[in-house]
Amino acid sequence: FVSCSTASTMEEDIQVLRQAVEIFLDPKAITPDWLYMFNVEGCDVFKRPRGDGGLFEYLTLGPLKDMDAELLFHTFVDLDYSMEWSPYWKKLVKLEDTPTRKHAIQLEYEYPFPLSNRDYVFSRLKYLIQHKGRKIYASVSRHTDDCLTDPPLRKRVVRVPAHLQVLLVEPSSEDPTTCNTLVLYFDDPGGSIPSWIINFVAKVGVPKVLGEMRKATLKYRDFREKRGLSSTLDDPPELDLFGDESKDIACQGGHGCDTDQRVQVSQGDVTRTMHSATFEMRQSFIDLVQTGGLVVSDQTIVVTESTMYVAHV
């Protein structure tokens, strides 16, 4: 997987998500560097070294019985509900979007005494992946590019320099009361905590978090009812990882789209080159288009609520 210590970009998030989905679809894709640890609640837990600091990233894969996939996913991504059911979430701030940061939150997470609480700044993206008849709910959370400087550091908490979490959930085709799950997790909590303590906490925390998630999922409908929220759970935006990635990019003027073709994107004195399909996923450019327009290969981009159309690339 892509190193979590590098700057966060949309392309990296999609790459990490694609690799996770490949394992989810075929567990044989787990490479030998993943070390099997144990099984908890029917899920296999693996770990592998990340970087040279003695830290590990963790992978949990398997079915959860008596769990509704849609409910489990929304329980996980509903920030307001997480503040209610998680005993570790202490303070949550939804940050304003910037040209380089979308859907970001700042979260103070409680660490056991005598350790200082941790301050996370990360973006969370949600997708629905439809692949060969399978409906997979996906969430990707990753530290933001400027997480160590913006927002300003707070006293008595330690800003986390690197964080990555991927959640995949789908209904089981064999048992409607079971959902298949994958969780990929890496954390560098910063500070001066010995790596063996970090790894120990991560190891023992997996069963505990799964148990808490199960209890919270069973109560999610009640939470929404008490808040006067709709009983209908909306699907996240659809993302095509393995099929025709240009299906959401319609080329106007009778020209076909080529997902391998590169386009030049310009605004002011800044010019960037990227794949046309990658550009479609660059949410940070949508605001710029809506407020004044960008130029792509001498053609104008037209943006609707759900689709970005690149004309004649």
Instruction: Please list the alpha-helical segments (H only) found in 227-297.
Output: 276-281, 286-291
**Coil, helix or strand at residue 101:** strand
As a whole number of angstroms, the distance between CA 174 and CA 159 comes to 43
Q: What is the DSSP letter of 18?
A: H
Crossing angle of helices 69-77/195-218, nearest 10°?
120
As a whole number of angstroms, the distance between CA 145 and CA 104 comes to 11
As a whole number of angstroms, the distance between CA 108 and CA 89 comes to 6
**What is the Cα Rg of the chain in Å?**
20
CB distance 147 to 161 below 8 Å: yes
CB distance 183 to 64 below 8 Å: no
pLDDT the model gives residue 162: 92
Q: How many CA atoms lie within 13 A of 176 on its CB side?
A: 0
pLDDT the model gives residue 9: 61
**Residue 2, both tokens:** 């892509």
As a whole number of angstroms, the distance between CA 124 and CA 140 comes to 6
Q: What is the DSSP letter of 247?
A: T
**Residue 289, both tokens:** 């288009």
Peptide bond into 151 cis (omega under 30): yes
* pTM score: 0.73
pLDDT the model gives residue 194: 76
Q: Please report, for residues 50, 60, 218, 294, 304, the alpha-carbon distance to residue 31 in angstroms, rounded to integers and kept in the order given.
A: 14, 14, 34, 42, 41
As a whole number of angstroms, the distance between CA 209 and CA 101 comes to 28
**Series of mean pLDDT values for 10-residue runs along the chain (313 residues):** 44 86 93 90 89 85 92 94 92 86 90 88 92 92 87 90 94 90 90 73 70 90 93 90 49 32 43 40 40 42 36 29
**Residue 70, both tokens:** 């849609």
pLDDT the model gives residue 255: 30
Residue 190 has phi, psi (to 5 degrees) of 70, -170
As a whole number of angstroms, the distance between CA 239 and CA 18 comes to 11
Q: How many residues does the chain have?
A: 313
